[in-house]
Amino acid sequence: MLLEFKDIHKSFGEVAVLKGIRLALETGSVLGLVGENGAGKSTLMNILGGIVPLSSGKMELSGKVYSPDSPNDAQTNGIAFIHQELNLFPNLSIAENLFIVNFPKKKVMGCHFLDRKTAREKTEKILSQVGLDVSPNMPVANLTAAQRQMVEIAKALSTNPKIVIFDEPTTSLTRHEAQKLFNLIRSLKNEGLAIVFISHNLDDVMQLTDHIAVLRDGELIAHDETTSYTIPTLVNLMIGRDMGDFIPRRDTVTSGETCLEVSGLKAGYIGPLDFSIEKGEVLGFYGLVGAGRSEMIRMVYGLDPMEMGTLRWNGRKMHNLNPVKWIKQGVAFLTENRQDEGLMIDQTIAKNVQLAVLPRYTKSLNRVDYKEVGKRSRAQADAVNTKYQNFTTQVVSTLSGGNQQKVVLAKWLLTKPELLILDEPTKGIDIGAKHEIYTLINALVKSGSSTVLISSEIEELLGLCDRIIVMSEGRISREFKKEEFERSAILEAALHHTEEEVL
Amino acid sequence: MKWITNKTVQSLLHHSTFVLFAIVLTVFGLLSQSFFSFQNLINVLTQASSLGIIATGMTFVLLTAGIDLSVGSIMFLAGVISSKMVVAGFPLWMAFSVVLAVGILFGLMNGFLVVRAKIVPFIVTLATFYMGRGLGLFLSETRAINLPDSFLKIGSTQFFGIPFPIIAFVCVVVIGHLLLTKTVFGKQVYAVGHSTLKSKKAGIKVNGILLKAYLICGLCASIGGLVAISQLGAVSPTFGLQSEFMAIAAAVLGGTSLFGGKGTVFPGTLVGVLLVQCIQNGLVMVNADPYLYPLITGGVIFLVVLIDSLRHLQQQKLKRWGIHQK
């Protein structure tokens, strides 16, 4: 046993995130760590990586008690953590990024100067190990997403780790690039390293790992050899019930009447795109990271400029798009990043929920009718089941991710939208809140509104949508009607013509 | 939106300082025959030395995505303290040491407030800007102080025909350049400027880097103050006023981004300083109305900050559209 987790508990305030995890890592093997968002995977790895301390329990590294007090401490103990968000400085070169803390030095006239030659040689060696053929002096800004990922891995390897944690390493990679990464991980395994591989892509997990541990709601549900699982059994273990009742069914059909029509939308690598959405329809958008779904919808909503394209709303052509106009027309947009764009994170729940409808509730002289708007916003927040202590004084940042998302939803539902655009609405929230959001979407559509749903979770789209448009590299690669829905075909369409690309 | 991806426009935006420099040199060269003389070159460099030294320090702070508004006040305080001490009969070396210590102290105070109290650099240094100037006015009783000849001698000393201020200027630029390009500290300054959060995650001691950057800036300001008064011969109550803005302008002209993480002392800030000084010098050479100086300098600064902002906006836009600029 290289590393053992012994009865690890972790709580943030009142909330218990990990409830007694017992798990072991072996040298020369790959452990897959799977579970829904909020299951505790990241917390467990953050404890291992020295980012957060554990509440109770202990870790043993090679038989000795291991309790890192900082990421640096974890690193010196041979643990390398490759985060999903890369921690690189694009304004520096690859070599400088690799050695930003422990740069090789040489002494000139009693002063310590950078030893660029040694750094370059070391970098070249590590880069060839990860199969990246670029100059160590290349600024990171000039690299592609996949190359940056490799640099991040090279950085981790430069510390000679015993355990390497990969957190969702493939989200920004094409299939071809991901395969290259897997080969690298296999060769690291053969060199005797212990690897932890966190991914939502169960195909990858099945293909790459030796063991799989399933976490759900902070507990270790299963831990066994990979060969003993299948994807459906994994899914069931992860969510703890059948997908069937996890995503509530809806029997309504679309009206056939078009409400939004987009034609010839284009900017940068995106487009030209043509699509339309009908009244009472849930239109899903699927694609890999970087497929341009968010970029496309941001242009439609007037948040980013487009180069060309026309939009018709209920048959009328829209000019000079901006969010104010859309809100007046009854179109609401829940953005991907609720912390930065969806919420005033340090303001109260009441202020956040009221924000979009304030102009609608005014008395004489344009004064806001706070009594009325307060009543309605509270009713709306309760209707979406937001859990709070005090509606008017509690600050949004004190809520959990799921409840924060409900505040954003309440804000937009209060505007009584004819069309609600949701960009990754269930990202980073727990299963219960997800279920509630699905129910809300269904209720909204039943009342005659339409929804655009952008999501990276294919099950969610399959369960909720009437139609799914799959995007790839800025274009629509295929459109699926409800009767044509098939997991593998949708995935394939998303990977469409990304295969030939080389690293 | 088409023009923004145009190659010529892009490269012009990229080298805006050099383009402006060329324009300025050409215009003044045509208007005044003696503009390109050797003596005038020495003049420009001597006059630029003080600004160049404080702009070098300023570059460090700007690279960390901060700003230091207090440098003009530190210059003023340096002038007042050193002249008071010399007039009172203290030896020069002692006056200089005290002044350098004051510069370091102010830098440390700025850095400490930014790092520990987590106050925005703009506000911190706005406060120290007033404190420094106030202290200087209090010490000098808002009167101009004339300096003894011993002081002025330093300003006019020459080594191999090169005036002392230029030598000090060159030394500071060389040291600043070496610090930024040849030391771990320099590389970490760029990293911190790009993102303090990422830097912390990478294990960089962010607070130490910030503290050192403000310290360097304060030290450079006091050196710059000494170099300036050694040429002027007197410290007036307005001495050093607006120097902070000239220094920021020069650094930004030289390609240092106000968003942090981008810029150089050499060639960047050096070119920026020379550009500012050439405009001043050129306007004198062509006998322009002195009231026009601030207007023209302001115009140039406006132009450059506008270009910096445009460049930034354009990169953001391209990034959003998925185009990575080489």
pLDDT in tens, A389-440: 889 999 988 887 788 999 999 999 999 999 999 998 987 676 678 888 999 9
Residues 87-106 of A with CB under 8 A from B: 87-92, 96, 100-101, 103, 105
Cα gap B201→B250, rounded to integer Å: 33
B6 in a structural domain: no
Domain that holds residue B203: 13-320
| Mutate which: A82, A94, A101, A288, vs B, most B CBs within 10 A | A101
- What was the pLDDT predicted at A498? 46
Of B204, B262, B324, the CB nearest to A101: B204
CB contact under 8 A, A268 and B190: no
Fold (topology level) of A242-330+452-503: Rossmann fold (3.40.50)
The residue-averaged pLDDT of B257-278 equals: 91
Q: Which pairs with CB-CB distance under 8 Å and at least 24 residues apart come from B259-262?
A: B259/B65, B259/B312, B260/B62, B260/B63, B260/B64, B260/B65, B260/B66, B260/B192, B260/B193, B260/B194, B261/A89, B261/A91, B261/B63, B261/B65, B261/B190, B261/B191, B261/B193, B261/B194, B261/B195, B262/A91, B262/B63, B262/B190, B262/B193
Topology of the domain covering A3-241: Rossmann fold (3.40.50)
Mean pLDDT of chain B: 88
Joined together, the tokens standing for residue A118 give: 């040694």
On whether ipTM exceeds 0.90, the answer is no
Cβ B130 vs Cβ B217: under 8 Å:
no
Does residue A241 register a pLDDT over 70?
no
For residue B9, pLDDT over 80 is answered with no
Among residues B150, B145, B12, the alpha carbon closest in space to that of B91 is found at: B150
Task: Give the model's confidence band at A457: pLDDT under 50 very low, under 70 low, under 90 confident, else very high.
Answer: confident
How far does B44 lie from chain A, in Å, by closest CA?
Answer: 33
Spatial separation of the C-alpha atoms in residues A437 and A443, rounded to whole Å: 10
Closest-CA distance, A120 to chain B, in angstroms, reads 14
The total number of structural domains that make up chain B:
1
Rounded (5°) CA angle A294-A299-A301:
95
Query: Tens digit of pLDDT for each residue in A38-57?
Result: 678 888 999 999 888 999 99
Q: Which of A345-354, A425-434, B293-302 has the highest mean pLDDT?
A: A345-354
> Is the CB of residue A347 less than 8 Å away from at least one CB of chain B?
no
Per DSSP, B267 falls in state I
Confidence (pLDDT) at B210:
97
CA distance A439 to A426: 12
Q: Is B195 on the interface with A (CB under 8 A)?
A: yes
Report the CATH number at residue B178: 1.10.3470
Structure pTM? 0.77
Chain A positions in Cβ-Cβ contact with residue B198 (cut-off 8 Å): 87-89
Q: What is the pLDDT of residue B324?
A: 45
**Any domain includes B140:** yes
Structure tokens at A404: 């924060």
Asked if the C-beta of A112 comes within 8 angstroms of chain B's C-beta atoms, the answer is yes
Q: In Å, how far is B245's CA from the nearest CA of chain A?
A: 26
Rounded Cα distance, B138 and B84, in Å: 12
Residue predicted with more confidence, B194 or A237: B194
Mean pLDDT of chain A: 87
Beta strands in A115-202 (DSSP E): 163-167, 194-198
Q: What is the pLDDT of residues A462-496, one digit of tens each?
A: 989 999 999 988 889 899 999 899 888 888 888 76
- Inspect the interface and report whether the beta carbons of B321 and A103 lie closer than 8 Å: no
Mean pLDDT across B233-246: 90
Range ranked top by mean pLDDT from A153-167, B68-82, B252-266: B68-82
Averaged pLDDT, B158-181:
93
- Within a domain: B8: no
Q: Determine the residue of chain A that is closest to B316 in CA distance.
A: A304
For chain A, say whether B295 makes contact (Cβ under 8 Å).
no
With cut-offs at 50, 70 and 90, classify the pLDDT of residue A338.
confident
Give the mean pLDDT of B65-79.
95
Q: How confident is the model at residue A503 (pLDDT cuts 50, 70, 90)?
A: very low
Query: Does the residue B233 lie in any domain?
Result: yes
List A363's β-bridge partners, or say none: none
Packing angle of the helix pair B38-63, B243-253 (nearest 10 deg): 90
Per-residue model confidence as pLDDT tens digits over B82-135: 999 998 989 989 999 999 999 999 999 999 999 999 899 999 999 999 999 999
Partner A contacted by B3 (CB < 8 A): no
For the record, the structure tokens of B182 come out as: 């040849």
> Does B23 fall in a domain?
yes
Q: Look at residue B222 and tell me whether its pLDDT is greater than 70.
A: yes
At B290 the pLDDT is 87
